Amino acid sequence: MEDFRELIKNKKPQSRTLEKMKEVLKEPGGELSRIIYDVYRNVATADNLRYDLTFLYPGKIKDELPKTYGHYHKNSMMEIMEVVSGKSLWLIQKYENDPKIIKEAYLIEAKKGEKAIFPTNFGAISINPREEEKTVLSNWVSLKTESDYLPYKQFHGACYYILKNESGEIIFEKNPNYTNVPELIKLKPKEIPELEITFSKPLYEFSAGQLEFLNNPKKYKNILTIENCYTKI
Ligand SMILES: [Fe+2]
């Protein structure tokens, strides 16, 4: 695999500062110019797909673990993400008609090489659970994908805030701005041999065939379900 540092050489990231993240944090605190994460978009393209890299820097914001802003996808589009280095948590959530009423919420834990597919209609945030090391994530997504950031903005974040207390325990606190938040179910990603989705091959090297589900989500809607993509832990 090409080293990810090569892919971003001479490229400028889009930086999300604390200033921009204020509206989705439980309690903003600290320097407003602090960069919470950097996104390098479009570092590679293939077959109507885009490859991005995200650097999620360590260090809590008050009690909250650093995270991405969060968004849903319009038009039933899916996404595949990989941990390139460090560890990641993803909080994914889904509503039916009212974005204030969450029907399903999952916490996915993943380590280097593991890949997670966010099935149709799930919104997601990425979280860096470690305080001493950055998390590097990569993703492929269809160029047809449109993001919807509004519910995360309106309700000041995802349906849970993910905090770390002084003894180093991770705590999940329901976000009171939602009307209904279900219990959080913990998952880990699994390989999907039928679609050649394995953890040994870097996501960057996946073929257009392996990633076809990103451009044709309707065809894979019943295959790429929570049950088929994850194991409960
Ligand atoms: Fe996305």
Question: Cβ of 175: how many Cβ atoms within 10 Å?
Answer: 16
Q: What is the DSSP letter of 223?
A: T
What is the C-alpha to C-alpha distance for residues 62 and 69, in angstroms, rounded to an integer? 16
Q: Count Cα atoms within 13 angstroms, Cβ side, for 129.
A: 18
Exposed/middle/buried for residue 101 (C-beta within 10 Å: 0-12, 13-18, 19+): middle
Distance 38 CA to ligand 1 centre (A): 15
Mean local confidence (pLDDT), 170-182: 98
Domain limits, the chain? 10-232
Output the CA 166–ligand 1 centroid distance in Å: 32
- How far is 95 from 101, CA to CA, in rounded Å? 6
Tokens (6 digits) for 181 = 């938040």
In this prediction, residue 106 carries a pLDDT of: 98
Taking a C-beta distance cutoff of 8 angstroms, is the pair 170, 118 a contact?
no
Q: What is the distance between the alpha carbons of residues 93 and 125, in angstroms, rounded to a whole number?
A: 9
3-class secondary structure, 171: strand
Measure 25 CA to ligand 1 centroid, in angstroms: 19
Note the CATH number of domain 10-232. Answer: 2.60.120.10
Q: What angle do CA 83, 88, 89 make, to 5 degrees?
A: 135
Mean pLDDT of the chain: 95
From 232, 229, 233, select the one nearest 117 (Cα to Cα).
229
Average pLDDT over residues 25-36: 94
- pLDDT-derived band at 107 (thresholds 50, 70, 90) equals very high
DSSP state of 154: H
Instruction: Please give the single-letter amino acid code of residue 200.
Output: S
Ligand 1 centroid, distance to 167 Cα (angstroms): 33
Question: 151 CA to middle of ligand 1, Å?
Answer: 14
**pLDDT tens, 86-99?**
999 999 999 999 99
Residues 6+ apart with CB under 8 A from 6: none
Whole-structure pTM over 0.75, yes or no?
yes
Check whether 61 has a pLDDT greater than 90. Answer: yes
The Å distance, Cα 132 to ligand 1 centre, comes to 26
Q: How far is the CA of 147 from the centre of ligand 1 (A)?
A: 6
Distance 189 CA to ligand 1 centre (A): 17
Interval 71-81 mean pLDDT: 95
The mean per-residue pLDDT over the stretch 184-192 comes to: 97
Check pLDDT > 90 for residue 169: yes
Confidence of residue 131 (pLDDT cuts 50, 70, 90): confident
Q: What is the mean pLDDT of residues 28-50?
A: 94
pLDDT at 6: 87
What is the CA(143)–ligand 1 centre distance, in A? Answer: 11
The pLDDT of residue 2:
52
d(CA 163, CA 197): 31
- The Cα–Cα gap between 45 and 60 comes to 33
pLDDT at 204: 95
